[in-house]
A and B are shown apart, each in its own frame.
Chain A
Amino acid sequence: MTISAAPDVVLDHLSKADGSASYSYAGYAVTATVNGPIEAQRRDEQPFEAIVDVIVRPAAGVGGTRERHLESILCSTLRHLILLKNFPRQLFQIALQITSVPENDYVNSKLMQASSSQNLSVLPTLFQTAILALVSAAVPMKTTASATTIAIPKDYGSPLLNPTPRQVQTSSSIHVFAFTRQGDLLLSQSDGSFSQDEWDVAHDIAKDVCMEKKREEVDVMLDDDESQTQNMADLIRAEAQMKTDSDLHWK
């Protein structure tokens, strides 16, 4: 299956929600809406801070433990980004709908069961979409962040960024990292067998992709036309800027 190289972002395209975003990259596509701050259910509310509710829904089939697992990872990560203390007794609801998952033409996929490695490779897309939707809903955050997947092949080849399902299948381990734009590690999930060195390599590559480039570096980057190393932090900024520009066009 051919996979479009450049990430595709649509911001604020759903009318009812406070904020929404669609993001597709490397065959994965996710649509997200954010509602918040809204009143929390009385049984859930926290007296000193807002609660974050993340709902992940699969493209096909009913959500199960896989989705609950992803939800818990996302929820605990996003809690660190949103300024929760500013909104006591309130709720931020983030609904994430997976709309497309790259298909592996060589395997007939079963609907319900998916291996844990497949779990992880959708995580960066979910995370990225959630961040974009939060930005679109103008939810106050400490910083923005981005995530990426890295697979380390079985044959000790060079680590692969945003691997295809086929590559995931044939790799010895995969790693998901999320960094803030300042380059602080926010999330690290790994699956498979790997050494500390391999993790370090993966970490460095991911950090490079997720962290904001310094000004001068960006200028250099503009010259070489490598969509492979699309910088995620820049992407969020660029998309947000484009959206505000088009929204304020009338001015």
Chain B
Amino acid sequence: MEKGTVELQVWHQKFLRYLACEGSPPAPGRISSRDPLHDKSSSHSPSSGASQSWFAIGIALIFSSFLKSPDKLNSETQIPLPAVNMPREAEISTNEKQFLKTALTENVRIDGRLFEQYRPLSLGFGEEFGVAEVELGKTRILAKVSAEVTVPYADRPFDGIFQIVTELSPMVSPAFEVNRPTETEVLLSRLLEKTVRRSGALDTESLCLMAGKKCWAVRVDVHVLSHDGNLVDAACVAVVAALRHFRKPDTSVEGEMVTVYTAAEREPTPLSWLHSPYCVTWSFYGEEGEMALLDASWKEEQVQVASFTVSLNRHGEVCQIAKLGGVAVDAVLLLKCTAGATVEVKRISEMVDQKLEEDAKRRDKGGLMAELRAENERES
């Protein structure tokens, strides 16, 4: 580093002199000491061809543009280099960014919401069990639960297998490629994993059928259909709702025999569910992250300086907290946000409970059960 700085300065002076037609074109400082190619260009004499020196001027000009950019200290003005060979996500324009930020300093969000207001959250269930679709503003998530009987992991013979799979398909944006996990995807799946799986929301021991031999493998597939910000909160509601809605085939164990009954034979049973955690995400804005917004939209997410996701359940237990970097935010503000999240979680929790109840009523009435029974009779 130290050598580099000195050399760069010397080279800069040389370059200025060169511009005043005093000497030969200098080579870019630090690299010259190592790179033989550049060494050659630095040692070449004024007698070499004119085309070469024009080439050198070209290089010099490019480098000078790096040096003479004190006004570029603001990180906003840094233009990210485009990733090659990949369809890109449309980026939010500088004007839009500026507009959004200025509006926030005047306490206005672009969609007219209050700072601590969620977008409308709606939850629907499919025809079958274990399918939940969540809409949060324009963000749409579909979660589907499936279960099958497999062999448990050797190191956990008494536990069933439970996994949450999130794969962002090109459906979300052409920038997502199949089988190439992006940062967004890794973070989303980690957050869901920590919130739902690690917090012990599902009793995995209840999935065990025969210790070390047979167990249920419950799998939640999270399909993001449309991404307009705050994937985490929406996905979490979808996963929790789908799991609570799900019914796995009934089983019986007699000695070494495990019988799995089809839906026609015996009514499927719900999973043993212990508590329902939900995520609440805050985004921070301003120089020191002093403004906190709940449930940022995609555009707001592009401008945020930091984000903070806290997962809680109705009983006021924190299951997970993640503020993964970004601008440093005052600790007191984080505590305030957590307190705000507890209120929000109660609201979401009530909403999900109510929807599940409605759906159960809808299914029971007019008798899907009655119909099944009738079918049974016909079969036998």
Interface residues of A (CB under 8 A from B): 1-2, 14-17, 20, 27, 29, 31, 33, 35, 38-39, 41-43, 53, 55, 57, 59-63, 91, 93, 95, 97, 99-100, 103, 105-108, 110-111
Contact = CB atoms under 8 A, between A and B. Distances in A.
B215 to A, nearest CB: 15
Contacts of A41: 85-87
B148 A110 contact: yes
Nearest to B298: A16
Given A35-B170, A39-B87, A105-B262, A60 B144 contact: yes
Contacts of B87: 35, 38-39, 41, 91, 93
A68 to B, nearest CB: 11
A20 B375 CA distance: 38
Contact of A61 (B128, B146, B260): B146
B225 interface: yes
Nearest to A94: B170
Contacts of B260: 108
Given A1-B127, A61-B219, A100-B126, A105 B226 contact: no
Given A41-B87, A108-B262, A14 B174 contact: no
A97 B168 CA distance: 11
7 contacts: A14-B225, A15-B226, A61-B146, A63-B178, A93-B170, A97-B223, A105-B264
A31 B133 CA distance: 12
Nearest to B227: A16
Contacts of B227: 16
A59 B170 CA distance: 15
Interface in B273-320: none
A59 B221 contact: yes
A16 B221 contact: no
B219 A99 contact: no
B171 interface: yes
Most buried by B among A14, A20, A41, A93: A14
A97 B169 contact: yes
B221 A61 contact: yes
Contact of A55 (B128, B178, B228, B249): B178
Given A100-B126, A100-B127, A111 B146 contact: yes
Contacts of A93: 87, 170, 174
B263 A105 contact: yes
B167, B227, B262, B371 pick with most chain A CB within 10 angstroms: B262
Given A61-B146, A105-B372, A111-B219, 6 more contacts: A16-B226, A17-B171, A42-B84, A59-B146, A99-B131, A99-B223
Contacts, number: 103
B146 A60 contact: yes
Nearest to B86: A41
Interface string B167-189: 10111111000100000000000
B355 interface: no
A59 B226 contact: no
B262 A107 contact: yes
Given A60-B221, A111-B219, A97 B146 contact: no
B269 to A, nearest CB: 14
Given A2-B371, A60-B219, A111-B146, A14 B140 contact: yes
B170 A38 contact: no
Given A17-B171, A61-B146, A111-B148, A99 B264 contact: no
A2 B127 CA distance: 9
B241 to A, nearest CB: 15
Nearest to B226: A14
B132 to A, nearest CB: 11
B142 A95 contact: no
A16 B148 contact: no
A103 B375 CA distance: 15
Contacts of A39: 87
Contacts of B264: 105-106
Interface string B336-380: 000000000000000000000000000000001001100100000
A63 B133 CA distance: 21
Contact of A17 (B85, B86, B226): B226
B127 A108 contact: no
Nearest to A33: B171
Nearest to A99: B142
A106 B148 CA distance: 15
Interface in B127-181: 127-128, 131, 133, 138, 140, 142, 144-146, 148, 165, 167, 169-174, 178
B131 A97 contact: no
B169 A95 contact: yes
B262 A106 contact: yes
A63 B174 CA distance: 18
A222 to B, nearest CB: 29
A16 B172 contact: yes
